[in-house]
Chains A and B, each alone.
Chain A
Amino acid sequence: MNKISVIINREYMTRVRKKSFIIMTILAPVLMAALIVVPTLLMLNGDKDYKKIAVIEEGSDLFTNVIPDTKDTDYEYLPGVKYDDLIKVYDTAGYYGILWISPEVINTPNAIKLVSKKQPPIALLEHISGSLEKEIEKQKLLAYDIKDLDNILKDVKTNVSIQTIRIDDSGQQKNTSTGISMALAYIGGFLMYMLVFMFGSMVMRGVIEEKTSRVVEVIVSSVKPVQLMMGKIIGIALVGLTQFLIWVVLTMGIVAVVQGTILKDKGINEIAQTIPQNIMEENQATMSAAQTEEMSADLQEFAKLFDNAMNQDWVLIILSFIFYFITGYLLYASIFAAIGSAVDNETETQQFMLPVTIPIILALMVAMGTMQNPESSVAFWFSIIPFTSPIVMMARIPFGVPFWQLALSMFLMVVTFIGCVWMAAKVYRTGILMYGKKTSWKEMWKWLRYSG
């Protein structure tokens, strides 16, 4: 036991003191924080790459100022300008394109053209068509000559939002949000994938390094190969946890600092407004008239969302994450260690890596699908089968998983990782002392059955 701790200590210290580790540990949160902060800043300060679109109607003025300007696009109405004249000069005049609306548009809704040099983005088209549709509908309604139309319309306008409530077995009710569950599922599944893969392959590289530099022969004359393997796996797991914790703390710190200083003058309202829009992919750009009204609605929405987020079973999520990280990492790291022991250099790992990466990639794909339908039988099976369960189960938990499924999945996980470590140790023991021979799967199978 004492010798394992000496090995763990070396594996941990040599990695933690490496320049690349220190740089990565400091730089990654800066990058991650940038990922969160920069889009927010961009959204608040407006897109500098803004477009001007010339709008012409020939022979009518039905749509003057109907299309509202957005953050990055201005719509200019040019009454009396002829399309044929403008088409020659719009580019030099600084227009992105020409929106041409035919007077026939009320009857033939596709009599609209957007002429531009570049393919216009989909959001732009949706914005234009949405605004025009509304206006045309309004015009058509007006044609019926209904009294007090404006008030009727206001009265008719309805916003449906479904409140989701989860009831647990004890009958307790909780407000929840599908958006939050999806975000958590995504983060949980993806983070699990990243950590298992990154640190698993770190184990493999470590084993290959020891084998190619022939250090291993000296070490196994002092300690058992299993001790060396476990020492390495545990040491690197600690490196992973250290890095992860520093990342969490630093990212939170940076985000807090940036929001506290740079965004302070913008006011919490605007930030609150942008966040739900991102997550929920809510209503398109808001009408300028209704903007103030909707802002407070957004704020309420945000408060509700925050409330819903707090209603998630965080203890379960965090404990499950730690459990699945440890067991999933041990499972894959031991396989990676066995592969590392069987090859002479890193390029030879290819043939063994493929069958190991397939379940991980598959799990990630299923996890992404799980967010759409967490109860599907694919999601169920992949969250039970040990090789994919860490990733898929993390994607399912935010949506609620029956206890027996979680228990079964965890039980199978423990059994499998013990089996995997045991088999990997047998392959490793033989593999690290084999040189110069190209190893095949058959060969590894044979090593499994060698005695002491």
Chain B
Amino acid sequence: MSLFEAKNITKQFGSFTALDNVSISVPEQCIYGLLGPNGAGKTTLIRIINQITGPDSGELFMNGRKLVPEDVQVIGYLPEERGLYKKMKVGEQALYFARLKGLSKTEAMRRLKYWFKKLDIVDWWGKKVEELSKGMQQKVQFITTVLHEPKLIIFDEPFTGFDPVNANIIKNEILFLRERGATIIFSTHNMGSVEELCDNITLINKAKTILEGSVNDIRRQWAASEYELIFTGEVKFEGNGQFKVLNNQFENDRSTVRIRTEKDMAANDILKTALKAGEIISFNPALPSMNEIFIRVVESRN
């Protein structure tokens, strides 16, 4: 059952098409990756989900019924371009955003105390935002995004500005939120974190959906034609009509060779050729990284 669904969304700004018939379906309690190069239309789609702007055509559903303005109360949004009032105190500001989401003052205070303690920023409550480091500010923003316990949380590049330690803290918090029942839409360029976190993805390029599905399926699908061989010593291994050598790296007395087959080709046939080249240590079908898939899909479309 999908928590959120967008069907055939089209949005134009004047003569520029930002989204062209894009659909996504986000299952409940899943982490859904929204990927795409800069200017693909991700931010527009996110703004439509948040009802900041409306689509020209298409429909939006929440829990199987049409999205209504009141749904902003159950959505949390951390924009990529985010900011805080610099001259305002941290605590007051967090309280302000919480109240804009409809929380009462006492309830907001109670939850804020919990989160400030959890992310270890209690001492910063009375400080002005401009005195905070960027990472600190990000933590405050993270709290204001999740404070009203939204069912659907949209994170746009949540890890930028964090050092690895704090990035890890935030990552664990995101997983914890999912554990507790939240559904997460996650927009990023960082493909490493997509592999790590996302269950499903949609790849948007130039206003159109060009790839969608579960991360595992997609990787397997694109893996079908790639293999990785490791030889002892330096080997000369050249492609023939049936496969192409993508990479041949000699390091620590080992050669790692990556090949892509042109057609469906049995592993045995590859091995036959490889045996002639040298002593094989390992032979594996290579799962391409999301990064590679991203680049290949986008480049093939351009």
From known contacts A223-B100, A451-B54, infer whether A213 and B84 are also in contact, taking CB-CB under 8 Å.
Answer: yes
The residue among A210, A446, A450 with the most chain B CB atoms within 10 A of its own CB is A450
Which residues of chain A are within 8 angstroms of B102 by Cβ–Cβ distance? 2-3
CB distance from B56 to the nearest CB of A (A): 7
* A213 close to B50 (CB less than 8 A): no
How many residues on chain B are close to A (CB under 8 Å)?
29
* B85 close to A213 (CB less than 8 A): yes
Contact partner, A6, options B79, B96, B144, Cβ 8 Å: B96
From known contacts A446-B14, A450-B13, infer whether A221 and B54 are also in contact, taking CB-CB under 8 Å.
Answer: no
From known contacts A215-B83, A217-B82, A433-B47, infer whether A452 and B75 are also in contact, taking CB-CB under 8 Å.
Answer: no
Contact partner, B144, options A213, A217, A218, A220, Cβ 8 Å: A218
Contact partner, A219, options B53, B78, B100, Cβ 8 Å: B100
CB distance from A235 to the nearest CB of B (A): 12
* A10 close to B56 (CB less than 8 A): no
- Asked if A299 is at the interface of the complex by the 8 Å CB criterion, the answer is no
- Asked if B141 is at the interface of the complex by the 8 Å CB criterion, the answer is yes
* B82 close to A222 (CB less than 8 A): no
* B97 close to A222 (CB less than 8 A): yes
- The contact string, 1 if C-beta is below 8 Å from chain B, for chain A 198-214, is 00000000000110011
Contact partner, A218, options B53, B56, B141, Cβ 8 Å: B141
* A218 close to B79 (CB less than 8 A): yes
- Asked if A7 is at the interface of the complex by the 8 Å CB criterion, the answer is yes
Which residues of chain B are within 8 angstroms of A376 by Cβ–Cβ distance? none
* B83 close to A213 (CB less than 8 A): yes
- Asked if A244 is at the interface of the complex by the 8 Å CB criterion, the answer is no
* B88 close to A3 (CB less than 8 A): no
From known contacts A214-B81, A446-B14, A451-B56, infer whether A222 and B101 are also in contact, taking CB-CB under 8 Å.
Answer: yes
CB distance from B6 to the nearest CB of A (A): 16
- Asked if A435 is at the interface of the complex by the 8 Å CB criterion, the answer is yes
B:182-196 near A, CB below 8 Å:
none
The count of A-to-B residue pairs whose CB atoms sit within 8 angstroms is 64
CB distance from B55 to the nearest CB of A (A): 9
Main secondary structure, interface of B, reads: loop
Chain B minimum-CB-distance residue to A434: B13
From known contacts A221-B52, A222-B72, infer whether A6 and B82 are also in contact, taking CB-CB under 8 Å.
Answer: no
- Asked if A14 is at the interface of the complex by the 8 Å CB criterion, the answer is yes
* B56 close to A217 (CB less than 8 A): no
Which residues of chain A are within 8 angstroms of B113 by Cβ–Cβ distance? none
Which residues of chain B are within 8 angstroms of A218 by Cβ–Cβ distance? 77-79, 82-83, 97, 141, 144
Which residues of chain B are within 8 angstroms of A225 by Cβ–Cβ distance? 52
* B100 close to A214 (CB less than 8 A): no
B:73-100 near A, CB below 8 Å:
75, 77-79, 81-88, 96-97, 99-100
- The contact string, 1 if C-beta is below 8 Å from chain B, for chain A 1-25, is 0110011001000100000000000
From known contacts A446-B14, A451-B54, A452-B54, infer whether A221 and B75 are also in contact, taking CB-CB under 8 Å.
Answer: yes
* A7 close to B100 (CB less than 8 A): yes
Which residues of chain A are within 8 angstroms of B100 by Cβ–Cβ distance? 3, 6-7, 219, 222-223
Which residues of chain A are within 8 angstroms of B79 by Cβ–Cβ distance? 214, 217-218, 221
The residue among B53, B82, B101, B141 with the most chain A CB atoms within 10 A of its own CB is B53
B:52-66 near A, CB below 8 Å:
52-54, 56
Which residues of chain A are within 8 angstroms of B141 by Cβ–Cβ distance? 218
Chain B minimum-CB-distance residue to A220: B52
CB distance from A230 to the nearest CB of B (A): 14
* A452 close to B14 (CB less than 8 A): no
User: How long is the Cα–Cα vector from A446 to B101 in the complex, in angstroms?
Assistant: 31
Which residues of chain B are within 8 angstroms of A214 by Cβ–Cβ distance? 79, 81-83
Which residues of chain B are within 8 angstroms of A10 by Cβ–Cβ distance? 96
Sample 9 A-B pairs with CB under 8 A, ordered by A number.
A3-B102, A6-B100, A213-B84, A218-B77, A218-B78, A219-B100, A221-B50, A223-B100, A435-B81
Which B residues are within 8 Å of any A CB, using their own CB?
13-14, 47, 50, 52-54, 56, 72, 75, 77-79, 81-88, 96-97, 99-102, 141, 144
